[in-house]
Amino acid sequence: MSALSSDTIHALLHRWRADLGGTYQSWFLWERRLKHFRSIRRGLQAVVEEIDTGTFGTAYRGSSLETVVHSIAEQRQIFKGADHAFLWKPKLRIPDIYENPEHQRAFGRFLQTCLCCDGEQALVEAIHTLDGRAIKGLGPAAANLLYFLHPTLAMPFNTAILNGYNALTGAKARLGRWDSYLTMRRQVMTLNDSCRTLLSNDLGAVAGFLFDIGSGRYPLPVSSENSPAAWSAWQLELARVREESITLRKMEAQRREQDHSHTTVQGWLRDLGHALGYRVWIASNDRGRAHAGGKLADGCLTSLPSALSTPSAAEVIHLIDVLWLEGDEHRVTAAFEVEHSTTIYSGIVRMLDLALGVPDHQQAAYFLVAPGSRHGDACNQFARPAFSRVRDLDMRFLAYESLQEHRESMARFGSGMKALQAIAMPLR
């Protein structure tokens, strides 16, 4: 990975660890450093919440993001100037997360994913997704935010760290490119593993080492700038990262299309339920999804009746895609599981938990809602011996196509469940 020998790198690391003016002694071992992690995480949660509620605004100055980045910039020399990447440059109109609402929301989703994820794959996929948005001016400097969320997975990034990396490895990583950052991150983690006794699981240590090299504190004993072997290895790794990015972008596009279709159908059922006079519940994990200029859960119940919240199956019931409840009663009239591409099996299990886990709900109407082409698959699943108990339920298959065709007329002229049951197909 490196253009320098292992012995040379170890000698440099020993020198770096003993240097009172280097980042290891002055920043990495600084007793107050770790105290910033929790406050920065809370600050990023505030950024996500403000973007989600539309109160973030259109300026960096005075925003919750400025507060967070200012806390990072105070982390001594390695993060000096960290706020430069987020300052609004009016002539260039970058970074484009202040005046462009869609880009701002994409940035918020990126932060939310990184706040919640707990593994390398999810973190890398979030970076690829953000990179795919091609938001002008929002490059890998944002990795400084990620470091304080996942210090063992995301390394800090700035010009000095980049220069130190290129000098040490002979690579030619570039500023402003997420694919360069991901390639660099992968190779730096390899270096970190090979020198773990002198570095740390926390990637701040190796980033500090590269920072001190890149800022000229430790001139390297040999010039590795034009190492053919290092350049070839860099090119191969970069090509692999770019191929991975293309694959993940395709997967993300497919997932967004599936999510869009799933949310659209939930929106149809929400609006139809309201038109027919029912109270509507949207699955707890889908409530914040954007739909029809608002949120999917707009106008819906914010909590389920206590009768549905106390049984052992409550956690599963809260995840049923759509529930219709009768007037002021606490009984579910109809339950809907939308299965655009996911397994039919899981939808049946969730509705079975409701029917058998909560008293007086076996008489409700249960619908699997999916493209018409999945009717055969639903019937096959329904016929499995494991679902012998569910065959006594009034469970039907509701095709997207039929719902789309008839929902407006049912909303205008219908009442109760009769019309909906008429366009649904039996599963027996």
Average pLDDT in the 177-198 region?
Answer: 93
Check: CB of residue 414 under 8 Å from CB of residue 277: no
Return the exposure string of 340-365: e unless at least 16 CB atoms fall within 10 Å of the residue's CB, then b: beeebeebbbbbbbbbbebeebeebb
| Number of residues that make up the chain | 428
Q: In this structure, is the dihedral angle defined by the CA atoms of residues 302, 308, 310 and 311, taken in order, positive or negative?
A: negative
Average pLDDT in the 411-426 region?
Answer: 88
Split at pLDDT 50, 70, 90, the class of 211 is very high
231: burial class by Cβ within 10 Å (0-12, 13-18, 19+)? middle
Task: Please give the pLDDT value at position 374.
Answer: 87
Q: In this structure, is the dihedral angle defined by the CA atoms of residues 64, 65, 66 and 71, taken in order, positive or negative?
A: positive
What are φ and ψ of residue 390, in 5° steps?
-75, -15
Q: Is the pLDDT of residue 71 over 90?
A: no
Split at pLDDT 50, 70, 90, the class of 234 is low
Q: What is the DSSP letter of 24?
A: I
- For the CA atoms of 321, 324, 330, 333, the dihedral, rounded to the nearest 10 degrees, stands at -110
| Element at 323 (helix H, strand E) | strand 322-325
Lowest pLDDT segment from 259-263, 336-340, 361-365:
259-263
329-339 per-position pLDDT tens digit: 678 999 999 98
Average pLDDT in the 229-236 region?
Answer: 64
Centre a 10 Å sphere on the Cβ of residue 11 and count the other Cβ atoms it contains: 13
Split at pLDDT 50, 70, 90, the class of 6 is confident
Q: Is the pLDDT of residue 409 over 90?
A: yes
Q: Is the pLDDT of residue 238 over 60?
A: no
Could you tell me the residue ranges of all domains in the chain?
4-213, 255-424
The span from the CA of 375 to the CA of 234, in Å, is 50
Split at pLDDT 50, 70, 90, the class of 325 is very high
SS3 239: helix
Split at pLDDT 50, 70, 90, the class of 20 is confident
Split at pLDDT 50, 70, 90, the class of 223 is very low
SS3 397: strand
- What pairing do the DSSP bridges indicate for beta strands 322-325 and 279-282? antiparallel
Sheet containing 332-338: give its strands across: 279-282, 322-325, 332-338, 365-370, 394-399, 425-426
Task: Please give the pLDDT value at position 340.
Answer: 74
**Residue 226 structure tokens:** 């034009």
Question: What DSSP assignment string belongs to 346-394?
Answer: HHHHHHHHHHHHSTT-TTSEEEEEE-GGGHHHHHHHHTSGGGTGGGGSE
Lowest pLDDT segment from 129-138, 147-156, 253-262, 291-300:
253-262
Average pLDDT in the 226-243 region?
Answer: 63
The span from the CA of 411 to the CA of 409, in Å, is 5
Centre a 10 Å sphere on the Cβ of residue 71 and count the other Cβ atoms it contains: 16
76-121 per-position pLDDT tens digit: 788 988 888 899 888 888 899 999 999 999 999 999 999 988 889 9
**Residue 282 structure tokens:** 């949207």
Q: Is the pLDDT of residue 225 over 50?
A: no
Q: Is the pLDDT of residue 224 over 50?
A: no
The span from the CA of 230 to the CA of 41, in Å, is 36
Contacts of 362 (CB under 8 A, 6+ apart): 355, 356, 392, 393
3-state secondary structure 108-162: HHHHHHHHHCCCHHHHHHHHHHHHHCCCCCCCHHHHHHHHCCCCCCCCCCCHHHH
